[in-house]
Amino acid sequence: MAELLDCRALAARYFDWVKKAKEELARKPALATVLYTPAKNPASVQYRDLIHKDASKLGVGAKDFEAGTEEELLKLVDKLNRSPNINGVMVFYPLHAGLPDEDVMDRVSARKDIEGLHSVNLGYLLKYKQFLDPTRGIKCVVPATAKAVVKTLQAYPDIRLERSFVVIVNNSMRVGKPLGLMLENLGATVVKCYDKTRAEVMEDLVRRADIVITAVPDPNFALEPAWIKKGAAVVDVSYQGNIDVKALAHTASYVTAPDNRVGQVTRAMMFVNLIYCARNVRAKNLPVV
């Protein structure tokens, strides 16, 4: 029988760490959330509301901002970058704007990038640089969703990452690309599939995988449960669900439950990253961008 990955319990552990870590700071950390309103993505709105609810429980400062045009969005991000009262800036993607998401990711200061999506922070991940300042324990910031998946897998000793074959069904800047790097850094062999991958190729790869991670933001996409090999671990990161986990009860070794998903751990990682950014306020070795 497949064991359910308890993301809720894992998230609680990291939220507890944030509560303790913030008490060691000179002042209460604060984040700013930025929603681009023309698209008004329901998933982004829900995510924003949950982030603010978490912040209230943690005793962390949180301010909500909205932008109605691309010009407003860029000016707002610049203003938040300059604000001494904001430690972390979180923009909700995808923007569905004429402006590429990647341009806005790089517009957010690398020092306040609690999503870990700035090219500077992704570069550190590529080089497997873990600390900005080892002597002071200031860690690099990495993408929260990818980090949440890795932490979830690492919480179960029976799930071996080193020498495992991992298939990620996602190739986005927020999930698939950084997650692949993280898992490779930990000794896994990783293949990413996406909308350009032929169906028969995806099937062949998934059937071979020790770990399958799927994060397709399309309600019409479904991964065939019969492809999952005996004993594989399956992590469904998607908002609407990419696979019928009940059908994996006697096949997979570990699965995520629809009511206990990785999203909770992702939110916890956002606040962990906020603590890292707050600790780094006076750091000299990260470029001001």
Domain 25-142+266-279: homologous superfamily in CATH: Leucine Dehydrogenase, chain A, domain 1 (3.40.50.10860)
Q: Among candidates 142, 118, 110, which has minimal Cα distance to 128?
A: 142
| CA 8 – CA 98 distance, rounded (Å) | 36
Q: Do domains 25-142+266-279 and 145-259 have the same CATH topology?
A: yes
pLDDT tens-digit readout, 40-96? 788 899 999 999 999 999 999 999 999 999 999 999 999 999 999 999 999 999 999
Q: Among candidates 60, 104, 45, 117, which has minimal Cα distance to 78?
A: 104
Q: Among candidates 207, 244, 245, 247, which has minimal Cα distance to 228?
A: 207
Q: Among candidates 219, 207, 125, which has minimal Cα distance to 167?
A: 207
83-92, 121-130, 263-272, 276-285: least confidently modelled range: 276-285
pLDDT, the chain, mean: 94
pLDDT tens-digit readout, 164-213? 999 999 999 999 999 999 999 999 999 999 999 999 999 999 999 999 99
| CA 6 – CA 235 distance, rounded (Å) | 11
pLDDT at 282: 53
pLDDT tens-digit readout, 212-229? 999 998 989 999 999 999
Please state the domain extents for the chain.
25-142+266-279, 145-259
Q: Is the pTM of this model over 0.85?
A: yes
pLDDT tens-digit readout, 1-32? 899 999 999 999 999 999 999 999 999 999 99
Q: Binning pLDDT at 50, 70 and 90, where does residue 284 land?
A: very low
Give me the torsion for CA of 5, 7, 12, 15, rounded to 10°.
140
pLDDT at 95: 94
Chosen CATH of 145-259 out of 3.40.50.720, 1.10.10.10, 3.40.50.10800, 3.30.360.10: 3.40.50.720
pLDDT at 288: 36
